[in-house]
Amino acid sequence: MNPEQFVQELSKRNFKLNEKQINQFKQYFTSLIEANQHVNLTRITEENDVYLKHFFDSVTPLFMFDELFKSGSELCDVGAGAGFPSIPLKIIKPEIKVTIVDSLGKRLTFLQELVDKLNLKDVTLVHGRAEDVGQNKQYREQFDLVTARAVANMAVLSEYCLPLVKKDGNFIALKGPKADDELKDSQKAITTLGGKVSEVEGLQLPYSEEERTLILVQKVKMTPKKYPRQAGTPHRKPIH
């Protein structure tokens, strides 16, 4: 998917990018490739692949759940790495507020430079592990939307993300193909943490055979205080 096809595919789905947004994606690509020579941000470096597997992939929640990305909504992106999915979402929906949580300082340095270059407003970067941030009153149950892409399996991911979602807010997990088994294995975790799966949407990326699954979890009750458990525990001992 080259940059022109990216713009066309978004337009087909009623997201018409203006010149500024098109240039922000171009600048994003350039910055990503430059920084990637010094910091391990991505294995995907071909322009067409970045546009498809990073940029387009990141904005697929807008096609399914656009109504959740309201002006002024607060979104937290857990383990964003090089800024996926939150920065592409922010470029297309500049009126949402974004908080990015990542445990690696070098990635956050890249993201801060990127945010400055792209002139993005209302983006906050938080250096920390999701388990610690989820227990911090400043962030716990403060967000309308929490996103995570390719971070961990669904049971572990739910413990990272659901404590950050406010009651009646939503958590969107961007997963690869065939997430059914993962979903089955994570039912107990999702329920325990106050969530309820409300939609599961499969899709195929254009110009490719790549399949993706979007899982929407609504926060129906508050997360018990003991979650998230201390750093490393969710990964070692997922809730089953």
What is the CA angle 40-44-50, rounded to 5? Answer: 120
Helix H, strand E, coil C: the string for 70-109 is CCCCEEEEECCCCCCCHHHHHHHCCCCEEEEEECCHHHHH
pLDDT higher at 150 or 180: 180
Q: Output phi, psi for 101, to 5 deg.
A: -110, 125
- Between 19-36 and 3-12, two packed helices, what is the crossing angle to 10 degrees? 130
Tokens of 189: 């975790």
Q: Specify the pLDDT at position 152.
A: 82
Is the CB of residue 162 less than 8 Å from the CB of residue 195?
yes
> Helix H segments across 79-227?
86-92, 105-118, 130-134, 154-161, 180-192
pLDDT in tens, 195-221: 999 999 999 999 999 999 999 999 999
Q: What confidence tier does 105 reach under pLDDT thresholds 50, 70, 90?
A: very high
pLDDT in tens, 53-77: 999 999 999 999 999 999 999 999 9
Compute CA distances 228 → 43, 65, 139, 169, 203, whole Å: 30, 26, 13, 17, 31
DSSP state of 140: T
Tokens of 32: 């990503």
- Between 154-161 and 180-192, two packed helices, what is the crossing angle to 10 degrees? 30
Q: What confidence tier does 36 reach under pLDDT thresholds 50, 70, 90?
A: very high
